[in-house]
Structure 1
Amino acid sequence: MRILLIEDDEKLCESLVFYLNGEGYATDTCHDGLDTLSFIKQCDYDLIILDRMLPSLDGLNVLRQIRSKEITTPVLMLTALSDIDNKVEGLDAGADDYLGKPFATQELLARIRALGRRPAQLKNIKQLTVSDVTLDLNTFILTGPSHNCSLSKREAALLEIFLNNMNTLLPRHTILSRVWGPYSPVEDGNLDNYIHFLRRRLKTVGSTLKISTTRGVGYTLEVSHA
Protein backbone atom coordinates (compact mmCIF):
# COMPACT_ATOMS: atom_id res chain seq x y z
CA MET A 1 0.00 0.00 0.00
CA ARG A 2 1.27 3.46 -0.91
CA ILE A 3 0.25 6.29 1.43
CA LEU A 4 0.37 10.07 1.11
CA LEU A 5 0.72 11.73 4.52
CA ILE A 6 -0.24 15.43 4.51
CA GLU A 7 0.85 16.96 7.83
CA ASP A 8 2.62 20.27 8.54
CA ASP A 9 4.25 19.05 11.77
CA GLU A 10 7.50 17.70 10.36
CA LYS A 11 8.52 15.92 13.58
CA LEU A 12 5.19 14.12 13.69
CA CYS A 13 5.59 13.28 10.00
CA GLU A 14 9.00 11.76 10.59
CA SER A 15 7.67 9.68 13.48
CA LEU A 16 4.65 8.44 11.53
CA VAL A 17 6.73 7.59 8.47
CA PHE A 18 8.99 5.49 10.71
CA TYR A 19 6.03 3.45 11.97
CA LEU A 20 4.29 3.22 8.60
CA ASN A 21 7.42 2.08 6.78
CA GLY A 22 7.99 -0.43 9.57
CA GLU A 23 4.58 -1.92 8.72
CA GLY A 24 5.58 -2.26 5.08
CA TYR A 25 3.79 0.82 3.71
CA ALA A 26 5.46 3.12 1.19
CA THR A 27 4.89 6.64 2.48
CA ASP A 28 5.26 10.05 0.84
CA THR A 29 4.92 13.24 2.87
CA CYS A 30 3.57 16.70 2.06
CA HIS A 31 3.56 19.64 4.49
CA ASP A 32 1.41 22.19 2.66
CA GLY A 33 -2.18 21.90 1.48
CA LEU A 34 -1.48 23.66 -1.82
CA ASP A 35 1.00 20.95 -2.84
CA THR A 36 -1.40 18.05 -2.35
CA LEU A 37 -2.90 17.80 -5.81
CA SER A 38 0.53 17.85 -7.47
CA PHE A 39 1.54 14.89 -5.30
CA ILE A 40 -1.63 13.00 -6.21
CA LYS A 41 -1.06 13.72 -9.90
CA GLN A 42 2.42 12.23 -9.71
CA CYS A 43 1.47 8.99 -7.96
CA ASP A 44 -1.53 6.70 -7.59
CA TYR A 45 -2.01 6.42 -3.82
CA ASP A 46 -3.98 3.75 -1.96
CA LEU A 47 -4.66 5.99 1.06
CA ILE A 48 -4.36 9.67 1.96
CA ILE A 49 -3.82 10.69 5.60
CA LEU A 50 -4.84 14.33 5.80
CA ASP A 51 -4.37 16.79 8.65
CA ARG A 52 -7.27 19.22 9.14
CA MET A 53 -5.08 22.23 10.06
CA LEU A 54 -2.63 23.02 7.25
CA PRO A 55 -0.87 26.18 6.05
CA SER A 56 -1.91 27.86 2.78
CA LEU A 57 -4.95 25.63 2.26
CA ASP A 58 -6.67 23.85 5.15
CA GLY A 59 -7.39 20.13 5.09
CA LEU A 60 -11.12 20.52 4.58
CA ASN A 61 -10.63 22.51 1.38
CA VAL A 62 -7.91 20.09 0.25
CA LEU A 63 -10.41 17.27 0.72
CA ARG A 64 -13.08 19.11 -1.27
CA GLN A 65 -10.61 19.65 -4.12
CA ILE A 66 -9.68 15.96 -4.11
CA ARG A 67 -13.31 14.88 -4.34
CA SER A 68 -14.15 17.55 -6.95
CA LYS A 69 -11.54 15.89 -9.19
CA GLU A 70 -13.44 12.58 -8.77
CA ILE A 71 -10.48 11.07 -6.93
CA THR A 72 -11.93 8.21 -4.86
CA THR A 73 -8.80 7.37 -2.86
CA PRO A 74 -9.75 6.71 0.80
CA VAL A 75 -8.98 9.69 3.05
CA LEU A 76 -8.30 9.42 6.78
CA MET A 77 -8.51 12.87 8.35
CA LEU A 78 -6.45 13.80 11.42
CA THR A 79 -7.46 16.72 13.60
CA ALA A 80 -7.19 18.33 17.01
CA LEU A 81 -10.72 19.66 16.40
CA SER A 82 -12.60 16.82 18.03
CA ASP A 83 -16.12 18.24 18.44
CA ILE A 84 -18.92 16.47 16.60
CA ASP A 85 -19.66 19.37 14.20
CA ASN A 86 -16.10 19.31 12.83
CA LYS A 87 -16.21 15.54 12.41
CA VAL A 88 -19.54 15.72 10.56
CA GLU A 89 -18.19 18.51 8.35
CA GLY A 90 -15.14 16.43 7.42
CA LEU A 91 -17.14 13.28 6.71
CA ASP A 92 -19.67 15.22 4.64
CA ALA A 93 -16.80 16.73 2.61
CA GLY A 94 -15.68 13.23 1.62
CA ALA A 95 -13.47 11.84 4.40
CA ASP A 96 -13.72 8.08 4.91
CA ASP A 97 -12.61 8.15 8.54
CA TYR A 98 -11.69 10.64 11.25
CA LEU A 99 -9.05 10.35 13.98
CA GLY A 100 -8.60 12.94 16.71
CA LYS A 101 -5.24 14.12 18.02
CA PRO A 102 -3.51 12.95 20.08
CA PHE A 103 -3.91 9.36 18.98
CA ALA A 104 -2.24 6.00 19.64
CA THR A 105 -0.12 4.69 16.77
CA GLN A 106 -1.80 1.29 17.14
CA GLU A 107 -5.21 2.86 16.48
CA LEU A 108 -3.92 4.70 13.42
CA LEU A 109 -2.51 1.46 12.00
CA ALA A 110 -5.78 -0.37 12.72
CA ARG A 111 -7.79 2.30 10.88
CA ILE A 112 -5.37 2.09 7.92
CA ARG A 113 -5.86 -1.68 7.77
CA ALA A 114 -9.63 -1.22 7.89
CA LEU A 115 -9.61 1.29 5.03
CA GLY A 116 -7.34 -1.05 3.07
CA ARG A 117 -10.08 -3.68 3.16
CA ARG A 118 -12.44 -1.54 1.06
CA PRO A 119 -13.86 -3.43 -1.94
CA ALA A 120 -11.59 -3.23 -4.97
CA GLN A 121 -14.29 -1.67 -7.16
CA LEU A 122 -14.30 1.41 -4.94
CA LYS A 123 -10.62 2.07 -5.53
CA ASN A 124 -8.98 3.84 -8.46
CA ILE A 125 -8.14 1.79 -11.54
CA LYS A 126 -4.45 0.94 -11.33
CA GLN A 127 -3.47 1.27 -14.97
CA LEU A 128 -1.58 4.01 -16.78
CA THR A 129 -1.49 4.44 -20.55
CA VAL A 130 0.86 7.10 -21.89
CA SER A 131 2.06 7.39 -25.48
CA ASP A 132 2.68 3.81 -26.69
CA VAL A 133 2.94 1.99 -23.33
CA THR A 134 0.57 0.76 -20.65
CA LEU A 135 1.70 0.09 -17.09
CA ASP A 136 -0.47 -2.18 -14.95
CA LEU A 137 0.21 -1.19 -11.34
CA ASN A 138 -1.45 -4.31 -9.94
CA THR A 139 0.66 -6.82 -11.86
CA PHE A 140 3.67 -4.57 -12.68
CA ILE A 141 3.36 -5.55 -16.34
CA LEU A 142 4.60 -3.04 -18.93
CA THR A 143 3.02 -3.40 -22.38
CA GLY A 144 4.41 -1.73 -25.50
CA PRO A 145 3.94 -1.86 -29.28
CA SER A 146 5.79 -5.15 -29.74
CA HIS A 147 6.13 -6.93 -26.38
CA ASN A 148 5.32 -6.85 -22.68
CA CYS A 149 7.57 -7.49 -19.70
CA SER A 150 7.43 -7.71 -15.92
CA LEU A 151 8.85 -4.95 -13.74
CA SER A 152 9.94 -5.09 -10.14
CA LYS A 153 7.82 -3.14 -7.65
CA ARG A 154 10.52 -0.45 -7.46
CA GLU A 155 10.80 -0.20 -11.25
CA ALA A 156 7.02 0.17 -11.52
CA ALA A 157 6.95 2.93 -8.89
CA LEU A 158 9.73 4.78 -10.70
CA LEU A 159 8.12 4.44 -14.12
CA GLU A 160 4.77 5.53 -12.69
CA ILE A 161 6.27 8.88 -11.66
CA PHE A 162 7.79 9.39 -15.11
CA LEU A 163 4.54 8.49 -16.91
CA ASN A 164 2.63 10.98 -14.76
CA ASN A 165 5.18 13.68 -15.60
CA MET A 166 5.92 13.28 -19.31
CA ASN A 167 8.32 15.88 -20.74
CA THR A 168 9.02 17.23 -17.24
CA LEU A 169 12.52 17.37 -15.78
CA LEU A 170 12.35 15.50 -12.47
CA PRO A 171 15.16 16.37 -10.03
CA ARG A 172 17.07 13.46 -8.57
CA HIS A 173 16.11 14.35 -4.99
CA THR A 174 12.42 14.42 -5.94
CA ILE A 175 12.59 10.96 -7.51
CA LEU A 176 14.51 9.52 -4.55
CA SER A 177 11.99 10.96 -2.10
CA ARG A 178 8.96 9.68 -4.04
CA VAL A 179 10.24 6.16 -4.73
CA TRP A 180 12.47 5.35 -1.78
CA GLY A 181 10.93 7.67 0.81
CA PRO A 182 12.18 10.98 2.25
CA TYR A 183 14.09 9.36 5.12
CA SER A 184 15.50 6.32 3.34
CA PRO A 185 19.32 6.07 3.35
CA VAL A 186 19.40 5.21 -0.36
CA GLU A 187 22.52 6.02 -2.38
CA ASP A 188 22.40 8.05 -5.60
CA GLY A 189 23.93 5.12 -7.47
CA ASN A 190 20.78 3.08 -6.84
CA LEU A 191 18.74 5.57 -8.83
CA ASP A 192 21.19 5.43 -11.73
CA ASN A 193 20.93 1.63 -11.74
CA TYR A 194 17.13 1.71 -11.84
CA ILE A 195 17.13 4.29 -14.65
CA HIS A 196 19.35 1.87 -16.60
CA PHE A 197 16.88 -0.96 -15.89
CA LEU A 198 13.90 1.13 -17.07
CA ARG A 199 15.66 2.11 -20.28
CA ARG A 200 16.16 -1.59 -21.03
CA ARG A 201 12.51 -2.35 -20.23
CA LEU A 202 11.25 0.39 -22.57
CA LYS A 203 13.49 -0.93 -25.33
CA THR A 204 12.30 -4.49 -24.70
CA VAL A 205 8.63 -3.59 -25.25
CA GLY A 206 9.45 -1.58 -28.38
CA SER A 207 8.48 1.81 -26.98
CA THR A 208 9.52 5.13 -28.52
CA LEU A 209 9.80 6.60 -25.03
CA LYS A 210 13.25 7.40 -23.69
CA ILE A 211 14.63 8.69 -20.39
CA SER A 212 16.99 11.60 -20.98
CA THR A 213 19.62 12.71 -18.48
CA THR A 214 20.29 16.28 -17.43
CA ARG A 215 23.65 15.77 -15.79
CA GLY A 216 23.76 16.71 -12.12
CA VAL A 217 20.04 17.61 -12.10
CA GLY A 218 17.70 14.77 -13.00
CA TYR A 219 15.83 12.88 -15.71
CA THR A 220 13.06 13.46 -18.26
CA LEU A 221 10.77 10.92 -19.93
CA GLU A 222 10.06 11.94 -23.52
CA VAL A 223 9.34 10.55 -26.98
CA SER A 224 12.42 9.76 -29.04
CA HIS A 225 12.31 11.22 -32.53
CA ALA A 226 15.43 9.38 -33.67
Structure 2
Amino acid sequence: MRILIIEDDKSLAETLRFQLEHSHFETDVCHDGEEGLHFIEQQSHDLILLDRMLPVLDGISVLKITREKNISTPIIFVTALGALNEKITGLDCGADDYLVKPFEFEELLARIRCILRRPPRWEGSKPLNFEDISYDVEQKKLCCGSLSCSLSAREGDLLEFFLRNPGQTIPRGSLLAKVWGPDAEVEDGNLDNYIYFLRRRLKSVKSSVNLKTVRGIGYQLEVSHV
Protein backbone atom coordinates (compact mmCIF):
# COMPACT_ATOMS: atom_id res chain seq x y z
CA MET A 1 0.00 0.00 0.00
CA ARG A 2 1.35 3.42 -1.00
CA ILE A 3 0.57 6.69 0.80
CA LEU A 4 1.28 10.23 -0.43
CA ILE A 5 2.15 12.80 2.28
CA ILE A 6 1.63 16.44 1.29
CA GLU A 7 2.95 18.44 4.24
CA ASP A 8 5.04 21.63 4.33
CA ASP A 9 6.37 20.96 7.85
CA LYS A 10 9.39 18.92 6.79
CA SER A 11 10.06 17.59 10.27
CA LEU A 12 6.50 16.29 10.61
CA ALA A 13 6.54 14.91 7.07
CA GLU A 14 9.70 12.91 7.75
CA THR A 15 8.31 11.67 11.06
CA LEU A 16 5.15 10.48 9.32
CA ARG A 17 7.22 8.86 6.57
CA PHE A 18 9.31 6.97 9.14
CA GLN A 19 6.28 5.82 11.15
CA LEU A 20 4.29 4.74 8.09
CA GLU A 21 7.19 2.85 6.55
CA HIS A 22 7.77 1.17 9.93
CA SER A 23 4.08 0.13 9.68
CA HIS A 24 4.80 -1.46 6.26
CA PHE A 25 3.44 1.30 4.00
CA GLU A 26 5.36 2.74 1.07
CA THR A 27 5.41 6.55 1.00
CA ASP A 28 5.99 9.57 -1.21
CA VAL A 29 6.51 13.01 0.35
CA CYS A 30 6.19 16.54 -1.04
CA HIS A 31 6.04 19.94 0.62
CA ASP A 32 3.78 22.23 -1.43
CA GLY A 33 0.39 21.95 -3.07
CA GLU A 34 1.55 22.26 -6.67
CA GLU A 35 4.09 19.47 -6.29
CA GLY A 36 1.50 17.40 -4.46
CA LEU A 37 -1.01 17.80 -7.29
CA HIS A 38 1.68 16.71 -9.77
CA PHE A 39 2.23 13.54 -7.72
CA ILE A 40 -1.52 12.89 -7.60
CA GLU A 41 -1.92 13.28 -11.36
CA GLN A 42 1.10 11.16 -12.31
CA GLN A 43 1.02 8.27 -9.82
CA SER A 44 -1.70 6.25 -8.19
CA HIS A 45 -1.70 6.09 -4.39
CA ASP A 46 -3.91 4.12 -2.05
CA LEU A 47 -4.38 7.12 0.25
CA ILE A 48 -3.29 10.78 0.56
CA LEU A 49 -2.49 12.70 3.75
CA LEU A 50 -3.05 16.37 2.93
CA ASP A 51 -2.29 19.51 4.94
CA ARG A 52 -4.55 22.53 4.38
CA MET A 53 -2.06 25.37 4.85
CA LEU A 54 0.37 24.67 2.01
CA PRO A 55 2.58 27.02 -0.02
CA VAL A 56 1.94 27.65 -3.74
CA LEU A 57 -1.44 25.85 -3.74
CA ASP A 58 -3.48 25.36 -0.58
CA GLY A 59 -4.93 22.02 0.47
CA ILE A 60 -8.56 22.85 -0.35
CA SER A 61 -7.54 23.78 -3.90
CA VAL A 62 -5.55 20.55 -4.26
CA LEU A 63 -8.58 18.58 -3.07
CA LYS A 64 -11.03 20.34 -5.39
CA ILE A 65 -8.83 19.91 -8.47
CA THR A 66 -8.26 16.25 -7.62
CA ARG A 67 -11.98 15.56 -7.41
CA GLU A 68 -12.70 17.62 -10.56
CA LYS A 69 -10.31 15.30 -12.40
CA ASN A 70 -12.39 12.32 -11.19
CA ILE A 71 -9.50 10.98 -9.13
CA SER A 72 -11.19 9.15 -6.25
CA THR A 73 -8.13 8.32 -4.10
CA PRO A 74 -9.11 8.59 -0.40
CA ILE A 75 -7.84 11.80 1.22
CA ILE A 76 -7.40 12.57 4.91
CA PHE A 77 -6.88 16.20 5.87
CA VAL A 78 -4.16 16.42 8.53
CA THR A 79 -4.21 20.04 9.65
CA ALA A 80 -4.05 22.52 12.52
CA LEU A 81 -7.31 24.11 11.32
CA GLY A 82 -9.78 22.49 13.69
CA ALA A 83 -12.83 24.78 13.88
CA LEU A 84 -16.16 23.13 13.10
CA ASN A 85 -16.75 25.20 9.93
CA GLU A 86 -13.25 24.30 8.70
CA LYS A 87 -13.93 20.59 9.19
CA ILE A 88 -17.27 20.88 7.40
CA THR A 89 -15.66 22.73 4.48
CA GLY A 90 -12.95 20.10 4.11
CA LEU A 91 -15.37 17.17 4.19
CA ASP A 92 -17.88 18.87 1.86
CA CYS A 93 -15.10 19.50 -0.69
CA GLY A 94 -14.42 15.77 -0.94
CA ALA A 95 -12.12 14.72 1.91
CA ASP A 96 -12.77 11.27 3.37
CA ASP A 97 -11.65 12.17 6.90
CA TYR A 98 -10.34 15.12 8.89
CA LEU A 99 -7.69 14.87 11.62
CA VAL A 100 -6.62 17.90 13.67
CA LYS A 101 -3.02 18.44 14.77
CA PRO A 102 -1.55 17.56 17.19
CA PHE A 103 -2.60 13.90 17.06
CA GLU A 104 -1.36 10.49 18.14
CA PHE A 105 0.05 8.37 15.33
CA GLU A 106 -2.01 5.39 16.52
CA GLU A 107 -5.19 7.34 15.82
CA LEU A 108 -4.02 8.27 12.33
CA LEU A 109 -3.11 4.65 11.67
CA ALA A 110 -6.57 3.50 12.82
CA ARG A 111 -8.23 6.00 10.48
CA ILE A 112 -6.05 4.85 7.59
CA ARG A 113 -6.98 1.21 8.24
CA CYS A 114 -10.66 2.15 8.41
CA ILE A 115 -10.59 3.93 5.04
CA LEU A 116 -8.55 1.21 3.31
CA ARG A 117 -11.11 -1.40 4.41
CA ARG A 118 -13.84 0.42 2.52
CA PRO A 119 -14.71 -0.69 -1.01
CA PRO A 120 -13.71 1.76 -3.77
CA ARG A 121 -16.03 4.78 -3.91
CA TRP A 122 -17.28 4.58 -7.48
CA GLU A 123 -19.84 7.30 -8.11
CA GLY A 124 -22.63 6.56 -10.55
CA SER A 125 -22.84 3.95 -13.27
CA LYS A 126 -22.54 6.06 -16.42
CA PRO A 127 -20.08 4.78 -19.07
CA LEU A 128 -16.43 5.58 -18.48
CA ASN A 129 -14.57 7.19 -21.38
CA PHE A 130 -10.91 7.55 -22.28
CA GLU A 131 -9.70 8.68 -25.70
CA ASP A 132 -11.49 6.42 -28.23
CA ILE A 133 -12.94 3.84 -25.82
CA SER A 134 -16.09 3.73 -23.72
CA TYR A 135 -16.76 1.16 -21.01
CA ASP A 136 -20.22 0.28 -19.67
CA VAL A 137 -19.58 -0.75 -16.07
CA GLU A 138 -22.91 -2.50 -15.51
CA GLN A 139 -22.89 -4.51 -18.74
CA LYS A 140 -19.09 -5.05 -18.72
CA LYS A 141 -19.04 -3.90 -22.35
CA LEU A 142 -16.04 -2.24 -24.01
CA CYS A 143 -16.73 -0.11 -27.10
CA CYS A 144 -14.58 1.65 -29.66
CA GLY A 145 -16.44 3.19 -32.58
CA SER A 146 -18.75 0.54 -34.02
CA LEU A 147 -16.82 -2.35 -32.44
CA SER A 148 -17.49 -3.80 -29.01
CA CYS A 149 -16.72 -6.80 -26.81
CA SER A 150 -17.74 -8.14 -23.41
CA LEU A 151 -15.30 -8.45 -20.52
CA SER A 152 -15.12 -10.95 -17.70
CA ALA A 153 -15.81 -9.67 -14.18
CA ARG A 154 -12.09 -9.49 -13.33
CA GLU A 155 -11.16 -7.87 -16.66
CA GLY A 156 -13.93 -5.34 -16.12
CA ASP A 157 -12.83 -4.48 -12.58
CA LEU A 158 -9.26 -4.02 -13.76
CA LEU A 159 -10.21 -1.77 -16.69
CA GLU A 160 -12.56 0.22 -14.47
CA PHE A 161 -9.75 0.95 -12.02
CA PHE A 162 -7.53 2.22 -14.85
CA LEU A 163 -10.34 4.38 -16.26
CA ARG A 164 -11.06 5.91 -12.86
CA ASN A 165 -7.40 6.89 -12.49
CA PRO A 166 -6.77 8.48 -15.90
CA GLY A 167 -3.17 9.14 -16.87
CA GLN A 168 -1.74 7.68 -13.68
CA THR A 169 0.97 5.06 -13.33
CA ILE A 170 -0.63 2.47 -11.07
CA PRO A 171 1.69 0.26 -8.98
CA ARG A 172 1.25 -3.50 -9.17
CA GLY A 173 0.48 -3.68 -5.46
CA SER A 174 -2.35 -1.18 -5.78
CA LEU A 175 -3.90 -3.12 -8.67
CA LEU A 176 -3.75 -6.38 -6.73
CA ALA A 177 -5.21 -4.79 -3.60
CA LYS A 178 -8.02 -2.91 -5.35
CA VAL A 179 -9.08 -5.60 -7.84
CA TRP A 180 -8.42 -8.82 -5.91
CA GLY A 181 -8.75 -7.39 -2.38
CA PRO A 182 -6.15 -6.33 0.22
CA ASP A 183 -6.14 -9.73 1.94
CA ALA A 184 -6.37 -11.94 -1.14
CA GLU A 185 -3.63 -14.50 -1.69
CA VAL A 186 -2.88 -13.93 -5.36
CA GLU A 187 0.31 -14.34 -7.33
CA ASP A 188 1.80 -11.53 -9.41
CA GLY A 189 1.45 -13.78 -12.45
CA ASN A 190 -2.35 -13.50 -12.22
CA LEU A 191 -2.11 -9.75 -12.73
CA ASP A 192 0.20 -10.23 -15.73
CA ASN A 193 -2.31 -12.66 -17.25
CA TYR A 194 -5.20 -10.22 -16.91
CA ILE A 195 -3.15 -7.35 -18.30
CA TYR A 196 -2.48 -9.58 -21.32
CA PHE A 197 -6.21 -10.36 -21.62
CA LEU A 198 -7.11 -6.66 -21.48
CA ARG A 199 -4.55 -5.79 -24.12
CA ARG A 200 -6.14 -8.39 -26.42
CA ARG A 201 -9.59 -6.91 -25.76
CA LEU A 202 -8.36 -3.43 -26.66
CA LYS A 203 -6.82 -4.75 -29.87
CA SER A 204 -10.00 -6.63 -30.74
CA VAL A 205 -11.96 -3.36 -30.89
CA LYS A 206 -9.07 -1.66 -32.74
CA SER A 207 -8.51 0.96 -30.06
CA SER A 208 -5.50 3.27 -30.01
CA VAL A 209 -5.44 2.83 -26.22
CA ASN A 210 -2.92 0.46 -24.69
CA LEU A 211 -1.69 -0.66 -21.28
CA LYS A 212 1.88 0.55 -20.96
CA THR A 213 4.29 -1.35 -18.70
CA VAL A 214 6.14 1.09 -16.43
CA ARG A 215 9.21 -0.93 -15.53
CA GLY A 216 9.66 -1.51 -11.83
CA ILE A 217 6.35 0.15 -10.91
CA GLY A 218 3.23 -1.08 -12.68
CA TYR A 219 1.02 -0.05 -15.60
CA GLN A 220 -0.52 3.02 -17.21
CA LEU A 221 -3.44 3.40 -19.60
CA GLU A 222 -2.12 5.41 -22.55
CA VAL A 223 -2.66 6.20 -26.22
CA SER A 224 -0.36 4.27 -28.52
CA HIS A 225 1.56 6.48 -30.95
CA VAL A 226 2.67 3.61 -33.17
Give the TM-score category using the shorter length: 0.5 to 0.7
Distance 2:77 2:171 in 1: 30
- Say if 2:117 is the partner of 1:117: yes
Distance in structure 2 (CA, Å) of the matches to 1:37 and 1:27? 15
| C-alpha contact 1:6 1:29 (8 A) present in aligned 2 | yes
Deviations 1:99-118 (A, max 9, x none): 00000000010000011011
The gaps in structure 1 that reach 5 residues or longer are 147-154, 167-221
Equivalent residue runs for 1:156-175 within 5 Å: 158-160=217-219, 163=220
> What is the alpha-carbon distance in structure 1 between the residues aligned to residue 92 and residue 52 of structure 2?
14
Question: Could you give the per-residue CA deviations for residues 25-47 of structure 1, whole angstroms, max 9, x where no partner exists?
Answer: 11111111012222122211111
Q: Does 1:84 align with 2:84?
A: yes
How many residue pairs align between the two structures? 156
Aligned residue identity for 2:60: L
Structure-2 separation of matches of 1:94 and 1:157: 32
Q: Is contact 2:171–2:217 with CA below 8 Å preserved after alignment?
A: no
Which residue of 176, 196, 205 corresponds with 1:143?
196
Who is 1:19 aligned against? 19
**What root-mean-square deviation, in Å, do the aligned CA atoms of Structure 1 and Structure 2 show?**
3.2
- Mapped pair 1:43 → 2:96: no
Using structure 1 for the length normalisation, give the TM-score: 0.60
The CA deviation at 1:22 is 1.1
CA distance in 2 between partners of 1:135 and 1:33 (Å): 23
Q: How does 1:96-107 map to 2 (within 5 A)?
A: 96-107=96-107
Distance in 2, matches of 1:121 and 1:90, equals: 18
Cα displacement (A) at 1:121 = 5.4
Whether 1:64 aligns to 2:64 is: yes
1:73 paired to 2:132? no
TM-score, normalising length: structure 2: 0.60
For the 8 Å contact 1:43–1:164, the answer to whether it is kept is no
Unaligned runs of 5+ in 2: 124-157, 177-189, 201-213
Partner residue, 1:174: none
Partner Cα separation in structure 2 for residue 10 and residue 17 of structure 1: 10
Q: Is the 8 A contact 2:44 2:171 kept in 1?
A: no
- What is the letter of the counterpart of residue 217 of structure 2? L
The answer on whether the counterparts of 2:30 and 2:36 sit within 8 Å (CA) in structure 1 is yes
**Judging changes above 3 Å, is the alpha-carbon distance between structure 1 residues 10 and 89 closer, same or farther for their aligned structure 2 residues?**
same
Q: CA deviation at 1:158?
A: 2.0
Q: Give the Cα–Cα distance (whole angstroms) in 1 for the partners of residues 19 and 108 of structure 2.
A: 10
Amino acid of the structure 1 residue aligned with 2:67: R
| 1:46-80 deviations in Å (ceiling 9; x for gaps) | 11110011001110111111111111111100111
Q: Given that residues 44 and 126 in structure 1 are in contact (C-alpha distance below 8 angstroms), is that contact kept between their aligned partners in structure 2?
A: no
Contact persistence 1:50–1:59 (CA under 8 A)? yes
Task: Classify 1:101/1:3 alpha carbon distance in 2 versus 1 (closer, same or farther; 3 Å).
Answer: same
Residue identity (%): 45
Which position in structure 1 is the counterpart of 2:95?
Answer: 95
